[in-house]
Structure 1
Amino acid sequence: MDLLNAILVKPFADMIAAPDFLLQVLWEGLVAGVLYALIALGFVLIYKSSRIFNFAQGIMVVFAALTLIGFHEHGVPALLAVPLTLVVMFVLAVAIERAVLRPLVNQPDIILFMATIGITLFLIGFGEIIFGGENKTMITEELYIPTGSYTFEPFGGFVSIEQKDLTAVIGAVVLVIVLILFLNRSKMGRAIRALGDDHQAALSVGISLSTIWVLVWFIAGVIALATGIVWGARAGVSFALEVIAYKALPVLMLGGLESVSGAIIGGIAIGILEKLFEIYWGQPLLGGNTETWFAFVFALIVLLFRPQGLFGERIIERV
């Protein structure tokens, strides 16, 4: 009876008793969820256009952030370092398409997946040679990202919102809107969607596979830079930051590998749910630290009932 009370009654009673604290928890979960969604978007875009699960997305986040900091350390103004970093990410996209993807066209999916693991290991080694292995501080102030906080007193309590977190959420929303408009309204965006729907049909009408691959890997690089700036502002930048990409895996399992909207909704859902579980169930019952595994367990439960994810397409094979 005491266990049932601790699981079913007390957490919800605590939420009702302290709604201001609940708002704080929801906000922090939303911020984390938005960042998870950004990382997942990089996976989704590449998978939709090439059927490649890009294991290198995490190290691309680190590499983009370190490139930005590296330019600034060598005297380049921060606002100029951003477009220069985008140029580097474009060159990286071209190099990956020419040196890795083009020679492996029509190879089994597992070969392409292994190739992205090779890209990951290369970028780790190459990055450590160029940037070193120590933790670096993101140039937050130089990029004019505010570092203060807003405070509110709803329900007679206290809620604090970090300005850099608010900037991250607004920036992510703008980036997602631009991306959706690009995919739905532009000629190249429609070509990406067509390639994702049917490779052979898209190629038969003259859509260039190499051009699309370069484009989607560059877009993934842009997303990686945005994610690296935000995460770097929160926790610094080092090669250990690569592990945040693993949090995108349950998001992808939940939202589906081919759904942009699934990545967004799945990321936000995972961020909020893992924060709620940590505060109201994890700390009182399990001693905390549930954020490291909750998302994976939750996604596994969803997959037991819907293997293609909540937003993935149901595949039916007739035999």
Structure 2
Amino acid sequence: MFDYQFFIEVLVGGLLSGVMYSLVAIGFVLIYKTSGVLNFAQGAMLLFAALTFVSLVERGVPFWLGAGVTLVIMVALGVAVERVVLRPLVNQSPMALFMATLGLSYVIEGAAQLLWGTQVHGLDLGIKDIPFEVGGVLISQFDLFAAAIAGTLVTAFALFFRYTRTGLAFRAVADDQFAALAVGLRLSRVWAAVWTAAGVVALVAGLLWGARLGVQFSLSLVVLKALPVLVLGGFDSVAGAIVGGLLIGAIEKLAEVYVGPLLGGGIEAWAAYVVALAFLLLRPSGLFGQKLVERV
């Protein structure tokens, strides 16, 4: 007999995990949407943020002061990356820009190692990863907290980009860079704001993932979890990143529980990539991405 309560528990757990995937994916979308750059350094920025914060706290800096200092550092890092590395490469090929961010990821990881060392750190945000019952369904307290933080950040970005002058400029650049230039918008200023937002996303995602997995250099590989999310949702859609994250989180958990026993387990690690490959074959632009139309 099918256990509906257990199914709901697995589904809810997957959806809550998916929100954290969405948070990482949004960092990619913000930059890709405005500049066409697939920022592979997002994982290294996430690691740098988590490692900087936990190293400051371990040296006696109060929690909130450490978070504030790390935020300032991440904003400065994002602006520096845009100005020093990517601005000189404007109008270069997408492959050149991608290779630049790939090399940048190793530079940032190396800088983190020089500054803070290579040891593994535990990160305690004060939220225990224990389940509690809601309507007969067990929900992880940490997953719910992480989903609430991620949801709050996503809502804040949505409001910022919809109702502020910088947000309107961001949307204009995302729709058409040449038209934005024609009406007097400064692309460099918009790109700096976007990289600043990416630094903020990296900080929040780094703290949440660091608390779950520990702050170690393998934390930068969390970006690989975001790639199926981007394929499903679309590389240029914030809404797609959210929906894609929820779908990938649910697919992983459900596949591991219901399909894993039939195939020998371990399916959670690669089920999302099977779905992403199917989407690349059937709908390369994703659920919400803009279809590329070329006229000849």
Q: What is the CA-CA distance between 1:39 and the residue it aligns to?
A: 0.6
> 127-136 or 41-50, which moves further after superposition?
127-136
- Is 1:304 aligned to residue 281 of structure 2? yes
* Among candidates 166, 176, 184, match of residue 162 of structure 2: 184
Q: What is the CA-CA distance between 1:115 and the residue it aligns to?
A: 0.8
Partners of 1:30 and 1:147 in 2: CA distance:
16
> 85-94 or 204-213, which moves further after superposition?
204-213
The superposition leaves residues 239-285 of structure 1 with CA deviations (integer Å, 9 ceiling, x where unpaired) of 10111110111111111111110110011001001110111011x11
Matched residues, percent identical? 50
Q: What is the CA-CA distance between 1:232 and the residue it aligns to?
A: 1.5
Contact 1:69 1:139 in 2 (8 A): no
**Structure 2 CA distance for partners of 1:87 and 1:314, relative to 1, 3 Å:** same
Unpaired segments ≥5 residues, structure 1: 1-12
The superposition leaves residues 275-317 of structure 1 with CA deviations (integer Å, 9 ceiling, x where unpaired) of 10111011x1111111111111101112222121111112233
| Match in the other structure for 2:9 | 24
Show structure 1 runs of 4+ deviating over 6 A: none
| Match in the other structure for 2:267 | 290
Partners of 1:163 and 1:19 in 2: CA distance:
21
* Among candidates 207, 215, 237, match of residue 237 of structure 1: 215
Query: Any residues of structure 2 matched to 1:1-319 within 5 Å, and which?
Result: 17-141=2-126, 145=127, 148-152=130-134, 154=136, 159-282=137-260, 284-319=261-296
Partners of 1:147 and 1:287 in 2: CA distance:
27
Partners of 1:147 and 1:279 in 2: CA distance:
20
**Structure 2 CA distance for partners of 1:198 and 1:164, relative to 1, 3 Å:** same
Partners of 1:286 and 1:147 in 2: CA distance:
29
Q: What is the CA-CA distance between 1:94 and the residue it aligns to?
A: 2.0
> 271-280 or 93-102, which moves further after superposition?
93-102
TM-score normalised by structure 2 residue count = 0.96
2:57 counterpart letter in structure 1: H
Q: Secondary structure at the match of 2:40?
A: coil
Instruction: Figure out how many residues of one structure are paired with residues of the other and give that number.
Output: 296
Contact 2:13 2:140 in 1 (8 A): no
Larger radius of gyration: 1
Partners of 2:294 and 2:210 in 1: CA distance:
45
| Match in the other structure for 1:5 | none
Q: What is the CA-CA distance between 1:148 and the residue it aligns to?
A: 4.7
Partners of 1:318 and 1:113 in 2: CA distance:
25
Unpaired segments ≥5 residues, structure 2: none
**Structure 2 CA distance for partners of 1:148 and 1:247, relative to 1, 3 Å:** closer
2:133 counterpart letter in structure 1: T
The superposition leaves residues 144-167 of structure 1 with CA deviations (integer Å, 9 ceiling, x where unpaired) of x4555422462xxxx432222111
- Give the aligned CA root-mean-square deviation in angstroms: 1.5
Contact 1:78 1:139 in 2 (8 A): no
Contact 2:37 2:97 in 1 (8 A): yes
